Amino acid sequence: MNKSLPQESCPKNKIISIKAYAKVNLFLAVLNKRKDNFHNLNTLFGRIDLADRIILRSLPANEIKVVCAHGSVPEDESNLCFKAAKLLQQRCKCNCGVEIKIDKRIPVGAGLGGGSSDAAATLIGLNKLWRLNLNQKKLANLAKKIGSDVAFFMYGLSFAQGLSRGEKIRKLPQLVKLRLWFILVVPEIHVSTPLIYRKFDELLGLTKPVCNVKILNSALRKDGPFAVKSLLFNSLEAVTTRIYPEVKLVKKMLSDLGLESILMSGSGPAVFGLVSSRKEAVTLGEKLRGQKMPWQIFVTRTI
């Protein structure tokens, strides 16, 4: 990989700000468990305009500092942004430092990929801040080493298919012009992703998809979002709703409001419903807020 500037040439008092967008999974089939204890997946990612902001400020030497006001976000070496910066330092023999400030808006641990997107934004931003001149392919290869979802966020795509652990990204040019609106509901519960996958392995075969990403992709392209209600699928949903009944309650309340295309994202607990427009999403959001449930409610669209 390209070598960075020597330490004495590292940028001083320079700041870069970059948005880190969330994602939803319109389709998520868990295929089988791998020898490395991960799972092979087939998923359709949709990038949405709900976003964190990553602010990178140059520091002297090779110091890495993570700052976040959200109490559930670690500021130590376990943070994916820290791992992204450290990996760049090591691979590029870079002696520059950085303070990574994470302005959180994406709910933490909700199945929306916030931590992965933050890490991707850190890679992209540091490539500029430290003037590393790495191309997109090299950055994406680094992203795969940080986390399964990180690679998706490297490409700036509205939609993409994820294969293998989710890190193998296939572009879907047929969906470039498609825009989907959602009402997004996040219960204030913590869902343990390792627990969900462990229970899934115990209950393997609990649900099977009736279609695949190719069929869903075709339906979205030809017939629009309201032709896909029976095609949306998440292998993990049946497991998560068994362990965390509040996710099932969210789905029921969205259904009672008249929505038909409803799905949990990732391992949960975020649930989204497809709507026809921003206006409809705002109206539904107001109705949900009137229920006084301890939920975060967002109006969002693919971007």
pLDDT at 301 over 90: yes
Q: Are residues 186 and 59 in the same domain?
A: no
Report the alpha-carbon distance of residue 229 to residue 156 in Å, rounded.
Answer: 26
Whole-model pTM? Answer: 0.93
pLDDT at 225: 66
pLDDT at 217: 85
Q: Could you tell me where the DSSP H helices lie in 96-212? A: 114-129, 136-146, 193-202
Total structural domains in the chain?
2
User: Is there a domain that residue 165 lies in?
Assistant: yes
pLDDT at 2 over 50: no
pLDDT of 59-109, one tens digit each? 988 899 999 999 999 999 999 999 999 999 999 999 999 999 999 999 999
CATH code (residue 196): 3.30.70.890
3-state secondary structure of 207: coil
Q: In what order do the strands lie in the sheet with 295-301?
A: 262-264, 271-275, 181-187, 295-301
Residue 34 vs residues 29, 31, 39, 56, 165: alpha-carbon distances, Å? 14, 9, 5, 36, 9
Split at pLDDT 50, 70, 90, the class of 222 is confident
User: Is there a domain that residue 5 lies in?
Assistant: no
User: Which of 145, 172, 199 is the last residue before a domain boundary?
Assistant: 172
The position carrying tokens 């109006």 is 299
User: Is there a domain that residue 148 lies in?
Assistant: yes
User: Is there a domain that residue 145 lies in?
Assistant: yes
User: Is there a domain that residue 1 lies in?
Assistant: no
Q: Are residues 140 and 178 in the same domain?
A: no
Q: Are residues 154 and 186 in the same domain?
A: no
Q: Are residues 29 and 139 in the same domain?
A: yes
Residue 93 vs residues 5, 56, 85, 147, 177: alpha-carbon distances, Å? 9, 19, 12, 22, 40
pLDDT at 7 over 60: no
3-state secondary structure of 106: coil
> Are the C-beta atoms of 147 and 141 separated by less than 8 Å?
no
Q: Are residues 149 and 190 in the same domain?
A: no
Three-point CA angle 274, 228, 202, nearest 5°: 90
Judged by average pLDDT, the poorest of 75-84, 203-212, 264-273 is 203-212
Report the alpha-carbon distance of residue 288 to residue 281 in Å, rounded.
Answer: 10
Specify the DSSP element, H or E, that contains 213: helix 213-223
Report the alpha-carbon distance of residue 211 to residue 228 in Å, rounded.
Answer: 10
Active-site residue, from 52, 149, 199, 251: 149
User: Which of 146, 172, 198 is the last residue before a domain boundary?
Assistant: 172
Q: Are residues 65 and 163 in the same domain?
A: yes
Let me know if 49 is a catalytic residue. no
pLDDT of 14-40, one tens digit each? 999 999 999 999 999 999 889 998 999
Q: Are residues 30 and 168 in the same domain?
A: yes
Report the alpha-carbon distance of residue 279 to residue 226 in Å, rounded.
Answer: 16
CATH code (residue 71): 3.30.230.10
User: Which of 172, 188, 212 is the last residue before a domain boundary?
Assistant: 172
Q: Are residues 207 and 273 in the same domain?
A: yes
| Sequence letter at residue 205 | G
Split at pLDDT 50, 70, 90, the class of 204 is low
User: Is there a domain that residue 106 lies in?
Assistant: yes
Q: Are residues 100 and 180 in the same domain?
A: no
Tell me the residue range of the domain where 67 lies. 10-172
Active-site residue, from 23, 101, 199, 251: 23
> Are the C-beta atoms of 125 and 16 separated by less than 8 Å?
yes
Q: Are residues 47 and 69 in the same domain?
A: yes
Let me know if 171 is a catalytic residue. no
pLDDT at 3 over 50: no
Q: Are residues 168 and 207 in the same domain?
A: no
Q: Are residues 126 and 196 in the same domain?
A: no
pLDDT of 120-177, one tens digit each? 999 999 999 999 999 999 999 999 999 999 999 999 999 999 999 999 999 999 999 9
Strand blocks (E) in the chain: 15-33, 39-59, 64-68, 97-103, 159-163, 168-171, 181-187, 233-234, 262-264, 271-275, 295-301
